[in-house]
């Protein structure tokens, strides 16, 4: 099978101000605060693991007033446009508690040479959170519902000139697609159908030729879909024996990195790491004018 070409350059945010100040997902509890020393150690171990496996990490400093900014996956959708230009579609967060994060991220990306754009901003326009978007097959697969709005899919398809396949998320505990879907290579992915409505679950299972189907319990208690893939190594926060057996049968190595302090905020390895090397024309086919495909009754 063809390995993923993307997932070798990441943006991460050092957790100098990570804490639970509010509750915007079912995992957050103001009475259960992360240990800041342990959280930093876990984050540093994750960075070291990525670099040891051949990936690179660019580190964005955390704002003191943005405790969730450590979940860098949601800062924006990073892409390489035809011709090699690097671009980020900056996220427009659903909850105002997180919107200041992109005020810092946008100029930081621009300073690295990325062009930037928006589908909405400062509470006006479509909401888009990049943890809902993954390149797979012939399209950008985008979850919508709890965080990203369906209108954002049309904006992405038109602006980027790509095909966008929408999936409706309905599970309150898997509010981003990255908690239920992890591409592994050109044919395989970790998939938790319980995150989606019936039509969207069927559409995703049809899209992935060889899915490794996760139970709701596996996805919610281990965060195992919230993983990253570098070559043939899957970097995971935990790996149930059944899942490990299938991954190893397929020829993947499994590297477990404990990031349990970050589970208190509702995110894990994928949430902490934002790949910015997805290439249009290589990982995403160009589609003149763009195209949005939604499952029946979506």
CA–CA gap between residue 12 and residue 267 (Å, rounded): 13
- Calculate the alpha carbon distances from 270 to 31, 125, 233, 262 in Å: 25, 26, 14, 11
Tokens 């990255």: give the residue: 178
* Among 115, 138, 157, 52, CA closest to 276: 115
CA–CA gap between residue 139 and residue 165 (Å, rounded): 6
* Through-space distance between the first and last CA atoms of the chain, rounded to whole angstroms: 31
CA–CA gap between residue 27 and residue 24 (Å, rounded): 8
CA–CA gap between residue 273 and residue 7 (Å, rounded): 9
CA–CA gap between residue 101 and residue 62 (Å, rounded): 8
Would you state the structure tokens that stand for residue 38, as one six-digit string?
């342990």
Tokens 């690295």: give the residue: 112
Which active-site residues does the annotation give? 176, 271
> Mapping DSSP to helix (H, G, I), strand (E, B) and coil, where does residue 244 land?
helix
CA–CA gap between residue 283 and residue 7 (Å, rounded): 11
Give the DSSP letter of residue 214: P
Phi, psi dihedral angles at 14 (to 5 degrees): -65, 130
């Amino acid at each position: 099978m063809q390995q993923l070409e993307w997932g070798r350059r990441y943006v991460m945010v050092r957790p100098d101000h990570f804490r639970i100040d509010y509750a915007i997902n079912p995992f957050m509890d103001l009475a259960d605060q992360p240990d800041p020393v342990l959280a930093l150690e876990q984050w540093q171990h994750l960075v070291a693991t990525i670099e040891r496996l051949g990936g690179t990490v660019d580190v964005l400093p955390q704002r003191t007033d943005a405790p969730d900014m450590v979940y860098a996956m949601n800062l924006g959708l990073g892409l390489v446009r035809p011709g090699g230009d690097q671009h980020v579609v900056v996220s427009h967060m659903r909850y105002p508690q997180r919107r200041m994060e992109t005020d810092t991220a946008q100029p930081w990306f621009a300073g690295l040479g990325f062009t930037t754009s928006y589908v909405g901003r400062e509470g006006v326009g479509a909401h888009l959170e990049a943890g809902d978007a993954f390149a797979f097959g012939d399209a950008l697969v985008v979850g919508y519902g709890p965080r990203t709005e369906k209108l954002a899919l049309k904006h992405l398809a038109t602006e980027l000139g790509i095909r966008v396949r929408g999936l409706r998320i309905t599970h309150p505990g898997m509010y981003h697609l990255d908690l239920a879907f992890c591409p592994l290579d050109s044919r395989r992915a970790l998939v938790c159908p319980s995150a989606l409505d019936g039509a969207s679950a069927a559409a995703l299972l049809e899209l992935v030729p060889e899915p490794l189907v996760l139970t709701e319990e596996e996805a919610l208690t281990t965060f195992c879909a919230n993983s990253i893939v570098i070559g043939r190594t899957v970097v995971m926060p935990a790996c149930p024996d059944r899942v490990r057996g299938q991954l190893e049968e397929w020829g993947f190595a499994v590297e477990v990195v404990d990031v349990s302090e970050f589970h208190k905020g509702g995110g894990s390895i994928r949430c902490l790491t934002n790949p910015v090397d997805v290439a249009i024309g290589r990982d995403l086919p160009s589609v003149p004018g763009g195209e949005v495909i939604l499952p029946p009754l979506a």
